[in-house]
């Protein structure tokens, strides 16, 4: 993916301090110039086909010997699990947004604000969906394995063309579906990437995104411990993660 390569071009390097691959979340902690930083990504498992052909995680057991940039390169892997590690490393190594670039606000509120009275499509199953239905005109959920009331990938083009606001899970970077999704999105729709895997980088705006709703780890040790013990995102949020949103240049002037 061109997007992942551009992110890799923007990161600094650092010494890998810790890697945790939890039931739901993956975290990578790095030392960058004496400062410990931590990045998150969803833990996305591999298909059975992949597991039978090559290791899930290349160099498992030796990952701490890699440089930060080497580990971040895993994001381009065809192995979802390896890509989860790479995305967490990218999120740890990307330059931190300036305070004036971010709002401490979560994706649910962002979507309620911009989706009020509009057609909203969400790619991914998020816990706030039932609440959001009361805030928008129509809500469409797209999932790889749809449940009743949701739509599968085959309906993506049709559903996205109806939407005024489109929320894309950052897992699409890990499972390599982002390129297809963004291609179907209308140019005038508000496009949001959401989830802790979201890279908080201006690079994302170059690929048509308007808003980035992600996470900043503030209490590294507490978050690492929680992930190791199978914590859900609500639990790691409480352990020390701040939910933030960045807006692209001119977004407020160009979108209403």
pLDDT of residue 9: 96
Top pLDDT among 164 and 58 is at: 164
Q: Is pLDDT above 80 for 256?
A: no
Same domain, yes or no: 79 and 150: no
Same domain, yes or no: 18 and 36: yes
Query: What percent of the chain is modeled with pLDDT above 70?
Result: 95
Same domain, yes or no: 105 and 194: yes
Supply the range of the domain harboring residue 54.
Answer: 2-93
Domain boundary among 93, 113, 132: 93
Domain boundary among 57, 72, 93: 93
Same domain, yes or no: 137 and 73: no
Same domain, yes or no: 131 and 74: no
Same domain, yes or no: 126 and 84: no
Query: How would residue 47 be classed by pLDDT, with cut points 50, 70 and 90?
Result: low
Q: What are the tokens at 60? A: 């498992």
Same domain, yes or no: 65 and 111: no
**CATH classification of the domain holding 120:** 3.40.50.11590
For residue range 61-106, list pLDDT tens digits in order: 999 999 999 999 999 999 999 999 999 999 999 999 988 889 999 9
Pairing of strands 190-194, 241-247: unpaired
Nearest CA to 233 out of 27, 29, 56 is that of 27
Same domain, yes or no: 16 and 142: no
Domain boundary among 43, 75, 93: 93
Q: Is pLDDT above 50 for 184?
A: yes
**236 domain residue, yes or no:** no
Q: Is pLDDT above 60 for 220?
A: yes
Q: What are the tokens at 146? A: 């749809």
Q: How many residues does the chain have?
A: 256
pLDDT of residue 52: 54
Torsion sign across C-alpha atoms 203, 209, 210, 215: negative
Separation CA 232–CA 234 (nearest Å) = 5
Q: What are the tokens at 247? A: 């807006």
Nearest CA to 197 out of 217, 181, 180, 182 is that of 217
Range 10-30 average pLDDT: 97
Query: How would residue 254 be classed by pLDDT, with cut points 50, 70 and 90?
Result: low
pLDDT of residue 251: 72
């Amino acid at each position: 993916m061109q997007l992942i390569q551009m992110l890799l071009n923007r990161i600094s390097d650092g010494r890998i301090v810790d890697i945790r691959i939890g039931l739901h979340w993956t975290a990578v902690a790095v030392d960058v110039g004496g400062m410990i930083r931590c990045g998150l990504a969803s833990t996305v498992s591999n298909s059975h086909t992949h597991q039978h052909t090559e290791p899930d995680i290349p160099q498992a057991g030796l990952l701490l010997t890699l440089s930060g940039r080497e580990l971040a390169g895993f994001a381009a892997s065809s192995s979802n699990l390896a890509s989860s590690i790479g995305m967490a490393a990218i999120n740890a190594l990307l330059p931190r947004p300036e305070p004036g670039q971010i709002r401490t606000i979560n994706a649910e509120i962002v979507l309620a604000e911009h989706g009020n009275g509009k057609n909203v499509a969400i790619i991914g199953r998020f816990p706030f969906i039932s609440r959001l239905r009361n805030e928008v005109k129509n809500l469409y959920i797209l999932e790889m394995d749809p449940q009743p009331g949701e739509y599968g990938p085959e309906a993506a083009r049709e559903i996205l063309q109806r939407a005024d606001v489109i929320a894309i899970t950052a897992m699409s970077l890990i499972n390599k579906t982002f390129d297809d999704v963004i291609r179907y999105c209308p140019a005038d729709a508000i496009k949001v990437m959401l989830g802790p895997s979201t890279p908080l980088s201006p690079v994302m705006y170059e690929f048509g995104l308007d808003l980035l709703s992600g996470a900043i780890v503030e209490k590294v040790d507490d978050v690492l411990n929680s992930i190791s013990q199978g914590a859900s995102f609500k639990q790691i949020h409480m352990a020390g993660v701040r939910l933030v949103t960045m807006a692209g240049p001119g977004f407020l002037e160009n979108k209403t």
